[in-house]
Amino acid sequence: MAMKKYLIGNGPPIGRPERKALVFATFISLLCVSVFTSIQRPITGKTKHSSSSVPALPPPPLSVPDLPPPPPAIKDVNQPFRYVPEEFKLVDFKNRSYGSYKFADGKIIDLTLKAGEREIVDYDHGSFSLKDVFYRDVTGDGVQEAIVMLTHESCGGSCDGGASLIYIYTMRKGKLKEIWQYETGSYAYGCGLKSFTIRELNLVVELFGRCQDEAIRYSSSQKFQVSDLTFLHFTFDDRRFVQTKKEYFATGWRDVTNYEPEIQID
């Protein structure tokens, strides 16, 4: 009796129908794997492309602190008192004589301004210039007077910061009449003008230092370093302003370099 042959293993041989079924199943399996792979590749690629094409977000802007607003312009409260009344329209305080002026060394000049200035030939006696002109009734007659302020700066080895010359004029029958004149000391050497208050019938002159006499050359220990204050009170007596009171106030030392006096008009 002839023996049956087996192809593989110990099982019976595979017949033709079973072989066809096995081949078909293998084909279907390979086809599914191929389709699944072809679907996954575009999706994966698209995902990678999509992520790389998104632009990077810019960094957040640096926070800049808000700058404080600029300080408001300081209002010139004295501007209304610079309006020239009709009776003074023809007076040119920039080009006129202020009379004789005597220096501390005895020299006398005719103090005449041209274009608001007066230069002295010799440098030691300095120069004069028109500082300001205000108009206000200070005599109580209902008519405005002119308050004219000049500066006189002297320079030897160095300049003294300037002294103040104050003139008050009234108009009588179309002509100027001087009713008051005052000269302060300088800022470098003491008795420089700190403030000048103008009221009807009254004037107050505030000076740096302890000042005994008009235009005194107060001597400080160092230039522009001054202590104490002097208040001079003047009242109109129907003809001129006369001094009625003097007050001293003790203060510490202060530097008055480039100081600008306060003008208060009530």
Average pLDDT, the chain: 83
Identify which has the larger pLDDT, 42 or 150.
150
Q: Which of 189, 257, 182, 240 shows the shortest CA–CA distance to 213?
A: 182
Q: Is 73 helix (H, G, I), strand (E, B) or coil?
A: coil
Say what the pLDDT of residue 197 is: 98
Asked whether residue 1 carries a pLDDT value surpassing 50, the answer given is no
Q: What is the pLDDT of residues 53-63, one digit of tens each?
A: 666 777 777 77
Identify which has the larger pLDDT, 253 or 219.
253
Identify which has the larger pLDDT, 13 or 209.
209
pLDDT band at residue 261 using 50, 70 and 90 as cut-offs:
very high
Burial status of residue 1 (CB atoms within 10 A of its CB: 0-12, 13-18, 19 or more): exposed
Say what the pLDDT of residue 192 is: 95
Q: What is the pLDDT of residues 196-211, one digit of tens each?
A: 999 999 999 999 999 9
Is the entire prediction scored with pTM above 0.75?
no
